[in-house]
Amino acid sequence: MSETATAPRPALLRVPGPKTLITILITLILVVGEWRYGMMGGFEKLAMTLGICVAVELLLSLFLLGRRPRLQSAYITGTSLSLLLRPAAGLSWPFLVGGALAIGSKYVLRYRDRHLWNPSNFTLALLVLIAPAQVALLSHELGNDLFANSIIWLVGLAVVTRARVLHVTLSYAGAFALFAMLRSALAGTPGLAELAPLTGPMYQLLCLFMLTDPPTTVSTKRGRMLVAVTIAALECVFRLANDFELPLAELVAPAPAIIALFVVGPIALALDLRRKR
């Protein structure tokens, strides 16, 4: 070995990989949200959802792929669902069914050896579409706590920068802001009210995790930016449809951003995979 070769960096000084940083960030959102605002209403839902996500991940990976899986993905999915799902009082099935559907979608809904939907996005969209009377999503802002929101966004932006997908988050956020001004002008609503969702936990998870999920994004930087803008545009259409009370608009009213990603994301990925073939 050359004398000038660089010695390996000690493990404690190495920068964690993107997946580890994402795990840390979502844990931060969970702890801050539950500590300051009681977002989940207790950790029982988290234990239930994580349990089913981990169990299904282990079961399907062992029996379908013949190998033990890394459980970070199951942890991220279970935590996301615990934070965002808001079933009617006394209902536990959305956490159990949602966790199983989310993990199962990775193994069943595949095209050219890739799963097409982000697991959390798939479940959240499906549940609010098929059971809107029983399942809602967390949508209120994290209070109006500038400090808590700033910490989450700063850490989150550092994570997506490390993962080299900052352009996706910024493309969506910028497009959302422009379309928010358009909605404000067309519907006569306050501009700040249209922008406010970006500070909420659902949009934090959307911008920092779901939109940037490497297994379910297209292969080129320009393509990822175009997909993010397209999702924001479709979300704008959904919101305007509800503002003007168009037929069937109420179907997408509970989660227009989540449903927009549910529609656009897999179509874009499938077209990208087909083009590369």
Q: Determine the pLDDT at residue 10.
A: 53
Q: Determine the pLDDT at residue 193.
A: 87
Q: Determine the pLDDT at residue 159.
A: 85
The answer to whether 190 touches 183, Cβ cutoff 8 Å, is no
Q: Determine the pLDDT at residue 158.
A: 86
Helices (H), 131-220: 146-162, 166-187, 191-195, 201-205
For residues 92 and 206, give the distance between their C-alpha atoms in angstroms, rounded to a whole number: 24
**SS3 state of residue 104:** helix
Q: Determine the pLDDT at residue 120.
A: 95
Tens digit of each residue's pLDDT, the chain (277 residues): 444 455 555 544 466 666 787 788 788 878 777 777 777 767 888 999 999 999 999 999 999 989 988 899 999 999 999 988 999 988 999 999 999 999 999 999 999 989 999 999 999 999 999 999 999 998 654 555 666 677 778 888 888 998 899 999 999 999 999 999 999 999 999 988 898 888 777 888 899 889 999 899 999 999 999 999 999 999 999 999 999 999 999 999 999 999 999 999 999 999 999 998 7
The answer to whether 119 touches 54, Cβ cutoff 8 Å, is no
Other beta carbons within 10 angstroms of residue 20's beta carbon come to: 13
Q: Determine the pLDDT at residue 15.
A: 60
Model pTM score: 0.89
